[in-house]
Structure 1
Amino acid sequence: MTDFAPTTLHLRTLGDALVTLNGQPLVWPARSAEELLWYLHAHPQGAYRADVLADLWGLEDTPTATNRFRVALHRLRATLGRADAVTEVRGRYLLHPELLAASDTAALQAGLEAARAARTGDEREEALRRALACVDGEYLPQVRAEWVEEARAYWRAARVRAHVALSSLHCARRECPLAAQTLLRAVQSDPLIGEDHHQRLMTCLAQTRGRFEAVEHYRRYRRYLREEVGDTPMPDTVRLAERLKAGELLCWAAEQEGQAAESKR
């Protein structure tokens, strides 16, 4: 069997669960084969057969269940067109690295790594935008099972990190509308990313959309904390909201720079 050409196969997991070959969706001979693919993708370090059987199909590792696993595995390999699509290493079943590399999550990870290694702000922005270009929603949104939650949280956090990093670049350049837009996407994805991000967003919204938008975000955040967490905003956030209500136009980046300069005196 020949290796996959790197541009022909693509696994889309962020916002969808779709495999395409030469731009065309693969036709799965059985649902179990597709389920096995996504399970192994969510466990890139591999998984034991007993765990696959229990998590995917609620089965114990019996001879009958083992046969079901073998059939699903055979169909998965046949559909993808290579016998080494899934390998077994010390009892753990793993997707071939080329399959993992053909995924949108690999592109997201590569973009984040390139951003960390970037030498200039422009290079970092390009890498972050490249990372976010492949993101179109939650990881494997069609899957409703406990086994996907850890991977879903991981990739959600990766997406949020990219949005926050890009927003910080815009903020440092005083590109307030872009900073607000990008940071808003981050807090919408994960409202608990950190209260300092909500504070920065409030100041960005006041600068770009007016104090009413800023205060409304504060109220939504306060309601979220009360209803979902059973908590209240920090005193600093409450004081910031009051300042914005009073009509102050604040710049988070400028205030942070001022505090840093003050601390050096």
Structure 2
Amino acid sequence: MIMEGGQYRLGDVDYWFDVEEFETLIERARLLPPQDWQAEDLWRRAVALYRGDFLTEVERVWCVPKREQLREMYVESLIGVGRCHEARSEFQKAIDRYRLALGVNELREDVHRRIMHCYTKAGRRSEALAQYHRCREILRQELDIEPSAETRRLYEQIAGKRPD
């Protein structure tokens, strides 16, 4: 650290910030389709960098938005890995990643829908329907709301198919 003009700055040394790397990996992964092997590599590297909530030991208002942003980016990374598996029809692996994402934020209806879709593609209709009911129960308990029209349409589409 060098003090110059009443301010501190880093000297002329190389440095590396995990948060900066995490954000860069995600920005790069967003540009690639899930079929691209590089996309999965970038998403996985981002997942590996995330070590939990940002600056939990700092109880200042200023870091809360960044903490929440990074947590959602972690969820996005888990979803990204899941979508890569889904693109290769590796439905159970995709479901496993999506479940990890729900472990961070169980209110993400889009993730519940991805799981429903994977179960359906894997021929596991009853599990897809059960996922809808879990989603509906979580939304009722936590927010006192019903699933979105998009989620209900997917449920109705799956429910209308032949049993597995």
Tell me the TM-score range normalised by the shorter chain.
0.7 to 0.9
Please give the alpha-carbon distance, in whole angstroms, between the structure 2 residues aligned to 1:167 and 1:136: 19
Please give the alpha-carbon distance, in whole angstroms, between the structure 2 residues aligned to 1:210 and 1:240: 14
State the identity as a percent.
Answer: 27
TM-score normalised per structure 2: 0.73
The structure with more radius of gyration:
1
Q: CA deviation at 1:118?
A: 5.1
TM-score normalised per structure 1: 0.49
Is this contact kept in 1: 2:82–2:93, CA < 8 A? yes
Is this contact kept in 1: 2:2–2:11, CA < 8 A? no
Q: Give the secondary structure class of the aligned counterpart of 2:2.
A: coil
**Alpha carbons of 1:182 and 1:103: their partners in 2 closer, same or farther (altered >3 Å)?**
same
Q: 1:115 aligns with which of 29, 38, 48?
A: 29
Please report the RMSD computed on the Cα atoms of aligned residues, expressed in angstroms: 3.7
Is this contact kept in 1: 2:129–2:158, CA < 8 A? yes
Give per-residue Cα distances to partners, 1:116-149, cap 9 Å, x unaligned: 4558701111111111111132223344443321
Q: Tell me what 2:81 maps to.
A: 166
Q: 1:127 aligns with which of 34, 42, 45?
A: 42
Q: CA deviation at 1:112?
A: 1.4
Is this contact kept in 1: 2:126–2:163, CA < 8 A? no
Q: CA deviation at 1:232?
A: 0.5
Is this contact kept in 1: 2:2–2:10, CA < 8 A? no
Q: Tell me what 1:198 maps to.
A: 112
Is this contact kept in 2: 1:211–1:244, CA < 8 A? yes
Compare 152-161 and 196-205 and name the one that shifted more.
Answer: 196-205
Q: Give the secondary structure class of the aligned counterpart of 1:127.
A: helix
1:176 aligns with 2:99: no
Q: CA deviation at 1:155?
A: 0.4
Please give the alpha-carbon distance, in whole angstroms, between the structure 2 residues aligned to 1:141 and 1:249: 47
Q: When the two structures are aligned, how many residues end up with a matched partner?
A: 162
The one-letter amino acid paired with 2:133 is: R
State how 1:44-59 maps to structure 2 within 5 Å. Answer: none
